[in-house]
Structure 1
């Protein structure tokens, strides 16, 4: 079976490459035919590019994104404008946007905030209550108490509990991941999913088609359906017929019976549990929620599912207490939320910014990519300049050399502001987490780069005074201990290197 899948993957890539080459040949032929009208075409394209530059300047958009496109259009005045028309819009295609917005309107009534929880949070910490209220108002996801949080400092530790919870499932299992790859991790999960489907459980799965394009064969979801697992490949890769491929489902969600959920940076592939060595030791993090807060994850999964596969009219049957009538217990407050490119509200970035703005003592950050805009850079620097101990851990061994160089090019202004930056010596850090002042924490799928903050569907959990924060802080300090601290001397690139880094930063928002 594996050999057959590998051949299908290869065939899929070959077909895609062949179609791209065919398209390039067609473009070359058309350009030769149009050369006789070059002066008229040049004038038309130049006027178009000027009009688009003026349109970009007037947009309420991220300044770094606008600058990148304006520079590109200046460099390619003939085709830069056309390129923007085809791929410059960060929002999903009209059809995807309509389906997801309609589904959100249908289901959002199930996301009602309990006034008692909100009042209790306000009495504990009014400023924190404001942060949670912002996420609720712009994203519709409530804040909860009565939810136990377990923090995992590695993928392999979380995987053990994931398998135990999957085996204990009695009613339904929802799986949503950006990457799924054949190997020991996925085979173990798949075996349980098949078994549970055979037992009559409602087992559903969403995987991102682009994230799995070289890892799973085309039409893999059809094979899973034959195994009894309802499955959907999100935003299928269709060369030339689907122009908007930028918006990916980067979320990581495992939801079991509506009362237990796992999330974080961990995908379903062997490197995430270090069964496969890539770039040294693979450091990742995650959390398990047990309790009322799981409802947000259940709702965001069902919203995505029903936008494309109409199946549920009443989702109240999936609520946490339906299959767990006993009261839940847990310290503090939790707020799982999703960030989406459907609107102009960058919820994930704004949560990060708010934590930095509120911090009094420290903020420790794990991120595999540090590709930030001016707003985030200023917030990081301002926190450090007012005496907050800001520390950032990035990979010591990169997964993408160019992106690693781009990450490093952002170090100097942060270092000069007093931020301490570390590179994880044992290998690659894929974790995405914040911890501040022993009170605030965020663990989720959101990288500190333009794709996560502006283009992808993401998820995370905002934590306040919950169980698990103590372990997150300890893991942060332990990780810093085995990492190499970076100084300004490490960032010297020379004139040519500095110019190259500047070019990378200009075009980073477009990548």
Structure 2
């Protein structure tokens, strides 16, 4: 039996013990128990009503709370992330750190004079993520396929001289990871510091439970993020969905591409795997270095001297455009839904077009209205999703969102060759976002995510060309093209109702 199976059984037993004890007390004194249940239910409802959360989440939790006993207990155990004293001290320490560059203020002033709309978008982002900053002196290269990024990534890894940081949601043994691991072993032997952070649940089905020990024996400082232990906690809902690779604080990679063979089309599970990523070289890589070290600190409870990892970071002369790498994550680690707000601000201020690609489309009322309003203003809004799904139930919910959007003038496309996993947005040939943030509740609310906002960078041309190429091999969805039976519609509505807490 794996440690995951053991942990699951312990958690089920713990859950059964709590419910069993509660109902046993009801048999001891029923009158007192009824009064207690009434007070507990009312207190739970008041807690939900007064809590700061999205309206969709609030409605879902209120429905659960009205179920006597069970609803209150579920909310107490899973409804809200409560920090320990140690975690609160860690959070206060991170909040006290200020990383803004000396030239950041001048860049923002210049941007305010040049384009107040974009300045407002970036100003809002910087106010939400204190780790984020605005950078020039950075070059970028966009990759329209995982296999293209894979080849460049291997070449860059071989040049590492000081440190390599890797943070990924999924790692799986195979051609891609094994070739990366071979280089990491060589670099460790050369004295290069290698830190690796991967999500425990994300790799549950792809790596052995003791894989970190194997990597540590090779000299790689490897750890699981949010490790599964035999304990009931809402923290398990907050996964590390980031994809970050940093080399010597000078080069960084991010995007939708995990370290597994389907991402480079070495194997095919859902037709052709369409993904996207970006390589940065220059000043903006400092932010990715800090993003990695922040999650390292959250996971390990230890913090390093940040300066030692980017003292030698060099600007790339003549590189055009501005970059804002940023993180997004769950409350209370992040006080705002950074990824969602960035998307909303770009969509709301677009004047010509907005193109979006996402594997899943499960979004709330406010983001849906922003997308619809953009289309009704005359903006060419296009959303591209997969034709071949990796999760059929999620595709059912995704397709359930089409009609409302199409009635407002949004164009929906499905990528016919296979599965789209990239999470990209481009607007008006001015702004683009490449990162890990899906248009769904898990990415927008629950997960630790990352992305880079790019303004007037040369790589925007490559991103737009990639969108145009995808549209050519995709089918535009028209009214009545997607037919669902009554039970499929019912299932979609049920999943949509509970999506905010899933």
What TM-score do you get using the length of structure 2 for normalisation?
0.93
CA RMSD of aligned residues (A): 2.2
Tell me which of 36, 50, 75 is aligned to 2:27.
36
Tell me which of 56, 60, 63 is aligned to 2:52.
60
- Structure 1 window deviating more from structure 2 (477-486 vs 492-501): it is 492-501
How far apart are residue 236 of structure 1 and its match?
0.5
Tell me which of 129, 132, 135 is aligned to 2:125.
135
For 2:319, the equivalent position in structure 1 comes to: 330
Tell me which of 419, 434, 444 is aligned to 1:428.
419
Deviation per CA, 1:307-326, whole angstroms, max 9, x where unpaired?
4547665322322x6164x7
CA contact (8 A) 2:100 2:133 kept: no
Residues 345, 18 of structure 1: alpha-carbon distance in 2 compared, 3 angstrom cutoff: closer
Residues 111, 245 of structure 1: alpha-carbon distance in 2 compared, 3 angstrom cutoff: farther
Paired with 1:244 and 1:312, the residues of 2 have a C-alpha distance of: 21
For 1:114, the equivalent position in structure 2 comes to: 104
Paired with 2:4 and 2:85, the residues of 1 have a C-alpha distance of: 26
Paired with 1:188 and 1:51, the residues of 2 have a C-alpha distance of: 55
CA contact (8 A) 2:11 2:232 kept: no
What SS does structure 1 have at the residue aligned with 2:351?
coil
For 2:277, the equivalent position in structure 1 comes to: 286
Deviation per CA, 1:363-399, whole angstroms, max 9, x where unpaired?
0000011010011000000000010010001111111
What SS does structure 2 have at the residue aligned with 1:181?
coil
For 1:236, the equivalent position in structure 2 comes to: 227
For 1:50, the equivalent position in structure 2 comes to: 42
Aligned pairs for 1:134-153 (under 5 A) are: 134-140=124-130, 141-153=132-144
CA contact (8 A) 1:361 1:436 kept: yes
- Structure 1 window deviating more from structure 2 (27-36 vs 142-151): it is 27-36
How far apart are residue 111 of structure 1 and its match?
5.2
Residues 20, 299 of structure 1: alpha-carbon distance in 2 compared, 3 angstrom cutoff: closer
How far apart are residue 247 of structure 1 and its match?
0.9
Deviation per CA, 1:190-221, whole angstroms, max 9, x where unpaired?
11111101100111111111111222222322
For 1:457, the equivalent position in structure 2 comes to: 448
What SS does structure 1 have at the residue aligned with 2:139?
strand
1:158 and 2:149 are equivalent in the alignment: yes
What SS does structure 1 have at the residue aligned with 2:98?
helix
Paired with 1:458 and 1:96, the residues of 2 have a C-alpha distance of: 23
For 2:189, the equivalent position in structure 1 comes to: 198
For 1:381, the equivalent position in structure 2 comes to: 372
1:173 and 2:187 are equivalent in the alignment: no
For 1:3, the equivalent position in structure 2 comes to: none
What SS does structure 2 have at the residue aligned with 1:505?
helix
Aligned residues: 498
CA contact (8 A) 2:138 2:284 kept: yes
For 1:367, the equivalent position in structure 2 comes to: 358
What SS does structure 1 have at the residue aligned with 2:480?
helix
For 1:405, the equivalent position in structure 2 comes to: 396
Gaps of 5+ in 1: 1-9
What SS does structure 1 have at the residue aligned with 2:165?
strand
Paired with 1:481 and 1:328, the residues of 2 have a C-alpha distance of: 36
Deviation per CA, 1:335-383, whole angstroms, max 9, x where unpaired?
0000122133111111100111111111000001101001100000000
Deviation per CA, 1:128-160, whole angstroms, max 9, x where unpaired?
112112212221211111111111111111111
What SS does structure 1 have at the residue aligned with 2:206?
coil
Tell me which of 341, 349, 366 is aligned to 1:350.
341
What TM-score do you get using the length of structure 1 for normalisation?
0.92
Deviation per CA, 1:476-499, whole angstroms, max 9, x where unpaired?
111111112112213443544433
- Structure 1 window deviating more from structure 2 (221-230 vs 252-261): it is 221-230
Tell me which of 84, 87, 95 is aligned to 1:105.
95
How far apart are residue 57 of structure 1 and its match?
1.6
Residues 327, 356 of structure 1: alpha-carbon distance in 2 compared, 3 angstrom cutoff: closer
CA contact (8 A) 1:395 1:429 kept: yes
Residues 196, 450 of structure 1: alpha-carbon distance in 2 compared, 3 angstrom cutoff: same
CA contact (8 A) 2:358 2:438 kept: yes
CA contact (8 A) 2:199 2:225 kept: yes
